[in-house]
Amino acid sequence: MTKTKFTRMAYNSADDMVFGRCKKPIKTGFDLEIGSGSTIPEINYAPRPEASKSPEKLISEYDRITNDILNRMIQLGVPSVVLETEHVQDMTINAKLGSEIAHIQKTILEEFYDEYGIKCGLRHTIADIRERKNHLDLKDGRFSLLMECFDSVASKGADLLSIESIGGKEVFDYSILKNDFRGILYSIGCLGAIDVENLWLEITKIAKKYKSVPAGDTACSQANTAMFLAGGLLDKNLAHTSAAVIRGASASRSLVANEAGAIGPGKDCGYENVILKAVTGMPVSQCGKSSSCAHSDIMGNLMMQCCDMWSNESVEYHGEFGGMSVQCWGEVLAYDCSMLNAAIETGNDKILRDILMVSDRYRDPQGFILSYDNAYEIGKEITNYTDDTYMRTKKAALKCCNLLIEGSRNKLNLSRFECTNLEKLRLELKALTDDSDEFQNECLDEYTKKVRGFIPGNYF
C-alpha cells in the first residue's frame, strides 16, 4: 500500500519556494541538515575505466576519491558536503563490494568530521540491475538482489539511499523513437509508477531498519533520455517541446517514491525535482551548469533556483591542471553554494533565485516548464488527481502544453517546428481517454504486441 497522498501543495505560493530551505528539512550523516537554511554541495564521481578490473582496484579508487574530495573541501573552508556514490553494476550485484566501499567512505567521512568538524554525509545510489539482455526483470531475483544491496550499504553507513529506477523503460524507448505520446504516457504514468511504488515500499523499510534516509528516485530513464535526445538548440533528435512535456509529466512518476516513504533529497538528475519540492516540501538535489562535466543542458543557472543540494551529476576520476577532477568540480559546487548561502544570509535569496531562473527561462521550453512558478502550476495538476497516476501524468503533460502555448504568446520564442509539435502533442493528449482502466487495458494489449521485451508480469 502506498503510504502518503499529496492532495495539496506544500507551499501556499510558488514565491515561497527558495533554495537552501524547504518545509521538511532532514538531518542525517555527521550533523548534516539538508534544506534547513543553506545549500550543500553534493559531489558525484565515476571511477576510471581501468579501476573496474578488480574489486581491490575499485575499493582503492573510492578511497582516493573520498579523501581527495574531503581534503579539498577542508582547504576551501567548506562547512558541509555530501558525497554521492553511484554504483557501478558490480557493486550492486556483489553487495559485499558495494557495502565495503560504503564502509570505507563512511570511515573517511568520520575521520574528517572528527578532525575538522565538517558536516558531511554519504549517498549511495544503487545501480538498477534489473535490465537483462533482452527484457526487464523487475520483480524476481534481481529485485531481491537490489534490496540485498540497499540493506548492505545502509548497514555499513550510507546515509542517503537512492536509485534511478528503470520501470517503464522498455515501452518508453520504443515510444520515444516513434513520437508515440500514448506509449510515453503509459510508460511514465502507469508502468513507471507501479515499479517505483514496488521499489520504494521496500527501500523505505530498509532505511527505517538502519535509520538511514530513503532519499528518492528519478525518472532518469524517461525524462533524461528525452533531454539528452533533445540536446542543444540545433540538435534534431527530439523536439524540445516534447522533452519539456515529458519532464513535466515525469514528476508524477518520481513523486510515487515520496508517496511510498522517500523523504528527500531527490536525486540531482531529476530535473523534475522542483515540481516535487513544490508538492511535498521535501529537500531536493539538482544539477545544472556545474554538471557540464557530465552533460550539457540548456537550463544551467535555472536549476539552482530552488535546490537544497547542488550537484555535478558525475565526473570521471582523473587528473586536471587544478587537481583531481572531483576536487575541481567539487570546488565549483562549493563556490556556487557559498554564493547561494551568502544570498540567504543577506536576505537576497529571492532576488538571486529570480536572476538564476530568468537567465534561462526563455532559453528553451524545458527551462520554461521548470521555472519555479510554472513548476508549481504543474504540481497543482498532480495534486488534483493524486489517486490516479495515469490521470495526473496526463494532466501534468497537458498543463505543460498549455503553459508553453501561453508562453509562446509572450516571450518564449518557439520555432515553427516546435509550435507544430506542441499543438500536435496537445491534441494527442487531449484525445486520450480520462478512464484510467480503459487506457491501461488498451495499452497493455497494444504494447505487449508492439514492444519486444515488454513483460506485463513485471508490473501486474
Partner 1 sequence: MLDINPDKILIRYNVKVEDNMTADEAAEELYPTDNQIRLITKAIFEGDEDEVISCLKIAMDDGLDPLYLINEALMEGMEIVSRLYDEGIIYLPDVIISAHAMIDGIEYCKEMSNIPLEYNKGKVISFVVEGDIHDIGKTIVTILLRANGYQVIDLGRDVPVDDVVEAVKKERPLFLSGTALMTTTMHSFRQIKEKLEHEGIDVPFVCGGGAVTQDFVSHFDLGIYGEEAADVPKIAESILKGLNITQLREKFHRH
State in angstroms the smallest separation of the CB of 88 from partner 1: 4
CB of 318 or CB of 430, closer to partner 1 = 318
Q: What is the size of the binding site for partner 1 (CB under 8 A)?
A: 50
Q: Which stretch, 155-163, 184-192, 235-243, 271-279, contacts partner 1 (CB under 8 A)?
A: 235-243
Q: Which stretch, 87-95, 99-107, 142-150, 393-401, contacts partner 1 (CB under 8 A)?
A: 87-95
Q: Does 348 bind partner 1 (CB under 8 A)?
A: no
Task: State how far the Cα of 219 lies from the Cα of 176, in Å rounded to an integer.
Answer: 14
CB of 289 or CB of 392, closer to partner 1 = 289
Q: Does 428 bind partner 1 (CB under 8 A)?
A: no
Q: Does 15 bind partner 1 (CB under 8 A)?
A: yes
Select the residue interacting with partner 1 from 339, 342, 351, 427 (CB under 8 A): 351
Q: Does 133 bind partner 1 (CB under 8 A)?
A: yes
Select the residue interacting with partner 1 from 53, 211, 409, 449 (CB under 8 A): 53
One symbol per residue from 358 to 377: x for binding partner 1 (CB under 8 A), - otherwise; what is it?
Answer: xx-xxxx--------x----
Select the residue interacting with partner 1 from 75, 237, 346, 441 (CB under 8 A): 237
Beta strand 32-36 with 319-320 is: unpaired
Burial class (CB in 10 A: 0-12, 13-18, 19+), 273: buried
Q: Using DSSP, state whether 36 is helix, strand or coil.
A: strand
* In contact, 28 and 212? CB cutoff 8 Å: yes
Other beta carbons within 10 Å of 387: 10
Provide the grid cell at 245. Answer: 512535456
Q: Does 134 bind partner 1 (CB under 8 A)?
A: yes
State in angstroms the smallest separation of the CB of 429 from partner 1: 17
Integer CA distances (angstroms), 196 to 14, 152, 289, 314, in order: 27, 20, 28, 23
Q: Does 48 bind partner 1 (CB under 8 A)?
A: yes
Q: Does 195 bind partner 1 (CB under 8 A)?
A: no
Q: Does 179 bind partner 1 (CB under 8 A)?
A: yes
* In contact, 265 and 161? CB cutoff 8 Å: no
CB of 241 or CB of 258, closer to partner 1 = 241
Q: Does 409 bind partner 1 (CB under 8 A)?
A: no
State in angstroms the smallest separation of the CB of 34 from partner 1: 26
Q: Mind spelling out the 3-state secondary structure of 171-230? A: HHHHHHCCCCHHHHHHHHHHHHHHHHHHHHHHHHHHHHHHCCEEEECCCHHHHHHHHHHH
Integer CA distances (angstroms), 228 to 221, 240, 399, in order: 11, 10, 22
Task: State how far the Cα of 239 lies from the Cα of 39, in Å rounded to an integer.
Answer: 33
Beta strand 309-311 with 285-287 is: parallel
Binding residues for partner 1, per CB under 8 A?
A: 15, 46-53, 88-90, 131-134, 173, 176-179, 225, 228-229, 233-234, 236-239, 295, 316, 351, 354-355, 357-359, 361-364, 373, 411, 413-418
